[in-house]
Structure 1
């Protein structure tokens, strides 16, 4: 399946921290350490369209950038549940990987999930840097071990 056909299996829906209700098809990646649902999103920040993790109960979305954790109020939610999490390492881009954004140079950024300090956190796979980064307690943290989001329908 081509990258264009994979993109047809999901859509990004505009949302914000002030929205009272999320779409029923919003993609939940897990929960945080307090048991709040965490959803997959993306947002523009510093000329970068980046994956973010959205915590509706906190009315906030988080992303890693420039060595720090940042918050955004406007974002897009990933909708439709045609995905699976696949273990990955060192920024490897798996077949069917979901692209969550682009860096300022136009290079793709891919969606990851990291389990850290009893929380599920959306991460960013940086293919050229060969790592995954994620926001945590005001900082940008990197790891070699993460899970990549891939389409269930990808034919390997």
Structure 2
């Protein structure tokens, strides 16, 4: 199993005033949004596309070049992150104010201080 097969797509969910990032299993055609301690199913989302990207350890919430996926209702920027949980990588959102990655797991929104941020490298044509 390759790293890319661990999640199919990364997306932004559009809800009220915030735009958090989540993992999207293609076969279900819904996004899973970690918010307020629960996982919510969302049908209104945008697929993110990058030319090149890599995962970088994030210990202080300030990874240069981290992929911003939106902001919460207070205007705090949210970034794409992932955590290693029970043998698998799970994609979630990093809130730099708390240096925490929030991620969906079995219907709940969990959080981890040890996480990685997705860093994008865009090529000019």
Q: TM-score, normalised by structure 2?
A: 0.85
CA distance in 2, matches of 1:30, 1:95: 26
1:126 match: 95
- Identify the residue that residue 147 of structure 1 maps to in structure 2: 116
Equivalence for 1:24: none
Contact 1:64 1:70 in 2 (8 A): yes
Q: Number of aligned residue pairs: give it.
A: 121
Offset of residue 30 of structure 1: 4.0
Structure-2 residue corresponding to 1:15: none
Give the 3 Å change call, closer, same or farther, for CA 99–29 of structure 1 in structure 2.
Answer: farther
Runs of 4 or more consecutive aligned structure 1 residues displaced over 3 Å after TM superposition? none
Alignment of 1:42-53 (within 5 A): 42-53=12-23
Give unpaired runs (5+ residues) of structure 1: 1-27, 32-36
Asked if the contact 1:123/1:135 (under 8 Å) is kept, the reply is: yes
- Aligned with 1:57: secondary structure? helix
Deviations 1:91-136 (A, max 9, x none): x221111101100011100110122233332211111112111011
Q: Considering only CA atoms, is the larger Rg found in Structure 1 or Structure 2?
A: 1
Contact 1:40 1:51 in 2 (8 A): yes
Could you tell me which runs of 5 or more consecutive residues in structure 2 were left unpaired when the two chains were aligned: none
How do residues 95-114 of structure 1 correspond to structure 2 at under 5 angstroms?
95-114=64-83
Over the residues paired in the alignment, what is the CA RMSD in angstroms?
A: 2.0
Residue pair 1:97, 1:149 contacting (<8 A) in 2 also:
yes
Give TM-score scaled by structure 1 length.
0.70
